[in-house]
Amino acid sequence: MAAKQKKATTPSSFHYDAIVIGTGPGGEGVAMQLAKAGKKVAVVERYEAVGGGCTHWGTIPSKALRHSVSRLIEYNSSPLFADNHLSRSLTFSEIMHHASGVVKSQTRLRASFYDRNRVTLFHGEASFVDAHTLEITRQDGSKDTVTAAQIAIATGSRPYTPSDIDFTHPRIYNSDTILSLDHDPKSIIIYGAGVIGSEYASIFRGLGVKVDLVNMRDRLLSFLDTEISDALSYHLWNNGVLIRHNETYKSVEATDDSVILNLESGKRMRADCLLFANGRTGNTDTLGLQNIGLKADGRGQLRVNENYQTEVDNVYAVGDVIGYPSLASAAYNQGRFAAEAMLEGKTHAELVADIPTGIYTIPEISSVGKTEQELTAAKIPYEVGRAQFKHLARAQIASTQVGSLKILFHRETKEVLGIHCFGERASEIVHIGQAIMQQTGEGNTIDYFVNTTFNYPTMAEAYRVAAINGLNRIF
């Protein structure tokens, strides 16, 4: 296979050595790696600005929005400002102005990468003519036809929108369109209590909006360690979010002033607007995959091998369009690994086995490694070390005392098996534990956290507290 690829990469045969469809983290990873290896590369972006869903509708704007709401909550709950006798309030659209600025900054930065590395950028909708040829349709209807030895699909995903719900109605949103919310709702129904639904439940509740969160399963984020999932459920409940478990929708009625959600259980719910956040679909339906003998699955996703190669030898795919883990952080690395396979015939690297999970609720959740439930099922003799944030000086100073850090480790070898964190800055804190878990041999033991010296006062100190707590349980 490698020989065939090298033979095909001749300037006289094709316009480019490689074309990448999509400029999100996955596409950027492919394009930058190939360009730095001296290849002639083009990228195709269907929208006006580069960055993909991550930059424009997903990770960046929602996390900027979350940060602003979190700071607003801190202000209103801080004893420093209690003498004002007034709580500040902001609307969703007001806070989105800040998020828009972050998106613009990120877009300019990402666009500069393509300019600096002499990657040609086409704006338009790409579809396959054959395995080496793409037709690119611009917004004005004009078309370009370009060819390449190799093509990488990094088209990402979009919210799943069932046909029986009218998403054109001004009170019905998905996780992309919710960012354009321009009125000030007093209540919202969020259908789908996965990562996106739970994050937006925190955000809207932080803005003082009445939130009903409808979950199709019997617990929130069931892939998490049970204690962490329970902590999130309690925190949302304690802040006034009404969670309905084991429910599915039957129909949605929208009027000029409200939305009614009818559930299969017979319950009826009404709110100012509805956010439907139940799953995502890979963006493959407009690619003309049938012209190259490829077919996506029912969720619009493509199957690839360990080299991110599809069933068509010269066509690769990375990011959300191939499914798990569907994370921006992982997509960028997938892009780099796919580029290596495109250059060398195979990749010599792979995603780390323990991919950290970052969930940007208020407070954050982050974990890496095994859960207590997984270790119990595998009959691995583990022990638990805990640190409550309320006992840390840094948390007391910053008034971020909600949450805790939990370390799971092997009773006999002391190997760190899992890190689970709930609280402000959890997605940063988890990486300290991840770094130790990635060490081999005796480098990965809980003793590291006891024997090293942490700055004081810091949130990182939670590792020392949790480690000592866990070691005290061993007899």
Q: Does any domain span residue 232?
A: yes
Residue type, 241: V
Provide the pLDDT for residue 12: 61
Q: Does any domain span residue 75?
A: no
Provide the pLDDT for residue 98: 81
Q: Are residues 269 and 289 in the same domain?
A: no
Q: Quote the tokens at residue 330.
A: 């992982």
- When pLDDT is cut at 50, 70 and 90, the band that residue 165 belongs to is very high
The larger pLDDT score, comparing residue 88 to residue 10, is at 88
Q: Are residues 273 and 287 in the same domain?
A: no
Q: Does any domain span residue 52?
A: yes
Provide the pLDDT for residue 18: 98
Measured CA to CA, the distance from residue 65 to residue 199 in angstroms comes to 10
What is the mean pLDDT of the segment spanning 232-237?
A: 96
* 59 pLDDT above the threshold of 90: no
Q: Are residues 138 and 232 in the same domain?
A: no
Provide the pLDDT for residue 6: 38
What is the mean pLDDT of the segment spanning 395-408?
A: 94
Helix spans in 239-363 (H): 328-344
Nearest Cα to 237, choosing from 259, 215, 261?
Answer: 215
The larger pLDDT score, comparing residue 10 to residue 434, is at 434
Q: Which residues are annotated as a binding site?
A: 45-54, 63, 155-157, 192-199, 279, 320
What is the mean pLDDT of the segment spanning 407-420?
A: 97
What is the mean pLDDT of the segment spanning 279-286?
A: 95
Provide the pLDDT for residue 92: 85
Domain boundary (278, 312, 328) is at 278
Nearest Cα to 55, choosing from 370, 331, 351, 345?
Answer: 331
What is the mean pLDDT of the segment spanning 103-127?
A: 94
Q: Does any domain span residue 166?
A: no
What is the mean pLDDT of the segment spanning 54-60?
A: 87
Measured CA to CA, the distance from residue 59 to residue 387 in angstroms comes to 29
The larger pLDDT score, comparing residue 86 to residue 193, is at 193
* 86 pLDDT above the threshold of 60: yes
Q: What phi and psi, each to the nearest 5 degrees, are found at residue 193?
A: -110, 40
* 81 pLDDT above the threshold of 80: no
Q: Are residues 211 and 222 in the same domain?
A: yes
Q: Are residues 30 and 135 in the same domain?
A: yes
Q: Are residues 374 and 422 in the same domain?
A: yes
What is the mean pLDDT of the segment spanning 137-151?
A: 95
Mean per-residue pLDDT of the chain: 93
- Bridge-partner residues for 282, per DSSP? 157
Taking a C-beta distance cutoff of 8 angstroms, is the pair 424, 364 a contact? yes
Helix spans in 50-177 (H): 52-56, 59-77, 92-116
Domain boundary (252, 278, 304) is at 278
Q: Does any domain span residue 74?
A: no
Q: Are residues 405 and 453 in the same domain?
A: yes
Q: Does any domain span residue 72?
A: no
- DSSP characters for 382-447? EEEEEEEGGG-HHHHHHT--SEEEEEEEETTT--EEEEEEEETTHHHHHHHHHHHHTS-GGGSSTH
Provide the pLDDT for residue 89: 79
Q: Are residues 417 and 460 in the same domain?
A: yes
CATH code of the domain in which 464 resides: 3.30.390.30
Residues, the chain = 475
Domain housing 416:
363-471
**pLDDT tens sequence across 188-224:** 999 999 999 999 999 999 999 999 999 999 999 999 9
Measured CA to CA, the distance from residue 308 to residue 150 in angstroms comes to 13
Q: Does any domain span residue 447?
A: yes
Measured CA to CA, the distance from residue 216 to residue 385 in angstroms comes to 32
Report the domain count for the chain.
3
**197-210 burial, b for 16+ CB within 10 Å, e for fewer?**
bbbbbbbbbbbbbb
Taking a C-beta distance cutoff of 8 angstroms, is the pair 56, 47 a contact? yes
- When pLDDT is cut at 50, 70 and 90, the band that residue 83 belongs to is low
Q: Are residues 410 and 445 in the same domain?
A: yes
**pLDDT tens sequence across 359-373:** 999 999 999 999 999
Cα angle value 73/327/133 (rounded, 5°): 135
The larger pLDDT score, comparing residue 81 to residue 202, is at 202
CATH code of the domain in which 337 resides: 3.50.50.60
What is the mean pLDDT of the segment spanning 117-136?
A: 97
Provide the pLDDT for residue 132: 97
| Cα separation values, 466 from 52, 199, 265, 408, 411, Å | 39, 27, 44, 10, 15
Q: Are residues 36 and 140 in the same domain?
A: yes
What is the mean pLDDT of the segment spanning 236-257?
A: 97
* 85 pLDDT above the threshold of 50: yes
Q: What phi and psi, each to the nearest 5 degrees, are found at residue 226?
A: -55, -40
- When pLDDT is cut at 50, 70 and 90, the band that residue 1 belongs to is very low
Q: Does any domain span residue 81?
A: no
* 412 pLDDT above the threshold of 50: yes
Q: Are residues 141 and 19 in the same domain?
A: yes
Measured CA to CA, the distance from residue 130 to residue 105 in angstroms comes to 37
Q: Which residues are annotated as a binding site for NAD(+)?
A: 192-199, 279
Measured CA to CA, the distance from residue 136 to residue 141 in angstroms comes to 10
Domain boundary (293, 310, 344) is at 344
Q: Are residues 338 and 388 in the same domain?
A: no
Q: Which residues are annotated as a binding site for FAD?
A: 45-54, 63, 155-157, 320
